Amino acid sequence: MKFIATDVLDTQQKMVDRATAQLEKPGFAIDPYFYRSHVTYQTELEHIIYKSWLYAGHISQIAANGDYFLFDIGEDSIIICRDSNGEVRAMHNICRHRGARVCEEASGNRRAFVCPYHGWGYGTDGTLKAARDMHVMEGFKPENYSLKQVRLVVFQGMIFINCDPEAPDFVKPLSNISAQLGAYDLENAKIAEAKTYRVDANWKLCLENYLECYHCASSHKHYAKLHTLQALAHKVKPINEAMWARAEEMTGVAGIADEYYGYYNDSADFGACSYHSRYALYDGIQSGSKDGSPVAPLMGNMKGYDGGAGDFQMGPLTFMLNYPDHCVLYRFIPRSITETDMELVWYVNGDAEEGVDYNKEDLTWLWHNTTLEDEFIITRNSEGVNSQFFEPGPYHPEHESTLNEFVTWYLKALSQLQAS
């Protein structure tokens, strides 16, 4: 649903009151108001999205000095660049003169970023190098008008940004999952494919769908044949316990099955989620592929297949599902109140050669098709929840427990704001 009616009487106080009232109904889906309210959407961007740690890209995308790519969030654009000294930087794509974007192409290599409007030029570190004729302005100092920098962390080859200058540390929360994530040597991995799926739905509907597997058995038939996550825990407990018992020996990675829960309400700081667990694939399944067989060489330090998959979360909107032979990253980014970018990135071993060690179509088949199925159900979900007649129902206590965690965290963030 691309267009929704605007509530001309909407206010921040109304949003705070709705969030507070919703918290008094734990275990229930949220009111349609939170998907339709323009006040809420702008508040989400300012107080949730821009204050959270978000995956921006991989270090391989800026291998050489001057390499850059753009990361777009909502209506904003951020330049991720390796400057002329080799330092990785993140900068707002906004000229300090009159606000024009200084970079339009999605990626490339630059010696400088030059505003197309009035010609102000910036170095790859964001320093203002040229501002034509501004010397006639008394007191003008170029050093006061560099591109605004964005907080940035590089962790195991992945680049995370946070638009809040006062953002809490993210390295320490991530260190709690570093051993398990490190098994895949993502710093030296190769991006085999990346796809962005633009979904006509509010970002929360896309994220909510990812956070529950209640829909997996009915909406993802092929996925459900491979992954035990679609079943109630007690039904697949023997399969999981058998996988956990052999995981270290089969993969050669100490602690590969150790769990860490630090997401949403249990995160170290706001917007700094970190999480890992390992769950079993069904007997005979080795990887997430069309037939469950390996589709690429083993990743990083992995020595074999244990019949398991690593489930990771890094920040509130970034997730990974890591098989021994490839990793799949999911990122959810709001683009408008009714549009969301779901980006998928497939990683393989850094030495793997396309056409020799892996076939891109085989590698991406499962999660590309699963995402198309998700797009179908999310769009229908959006159409339904935007109806004036929708009445939210209860969450499943097990299948939708993580979704419930997110919703509680989200509502608390809104309810604690002071209405202005």
Give the domain ranges of the chain: 57-153, 171-413
Q: How confident is the model at residue 4 (pLDDT cuts 50, 70, 90)?
A: confident
Q: Collapse the DSSP code of 234 into the 3-class scheme (helix H, G, I; strand E, B; otherwise coil) and give the result.
A: helix
Q: What is the pLDDT of residues 211-226, one digit of tens each?
A: 999 999 999 999 999 9
Q: How confident is the model at residue 419 (pLDDT cuts 50, 70, 90)?
A: low
Q: How confident is the model at residue 2 (pLDDT cuts 50, 70, 90)?
A: low
Amino acid at 243: M
pLDDT average, residue stretch 16-22 = 96
Q: What is the pLDDT of residues 299-314, one digit of tens each?
A: 999 999 999 999 999 9
Name the residue among 410, 415, 408 with its Cα closest to residue 17: 415
- Global pTM value: 0.96
Please state, in angstroms and rounded to a whole number, the distance separating the CA atoms of residues 6 and 33.
11
Query: Do 35 and 204 meet the contact criterion of CB atoms below 8 Å apart?
Result: yes
Sheet holding 112-114, edge to edge: 112-114, 121-123, 128-130
Superfamily of domain 171-413: Naphthalene 1,2-dioxygenase Alpha Subunit; Chain A, domain 1 (3.90.380.10)
Superfamily of domain 57-153: Rieske [2Fe-2S] iron-sulphur domain (2.102.10.10)
Amino acid at 402: T
CA atoms within 13 A on the CB side of 36: 21
DSSP summary character for residue 291? S
Q: What is the pLDDT of residues 322-347, one digit of tens each?
A: 999 999 999 999 999 999 999 999 99
Q: What is the pLDDT of residues 141-180, one digit of tens each?
A: 999 999 999 999 999 999 999 999 999 999 999 999 999 9
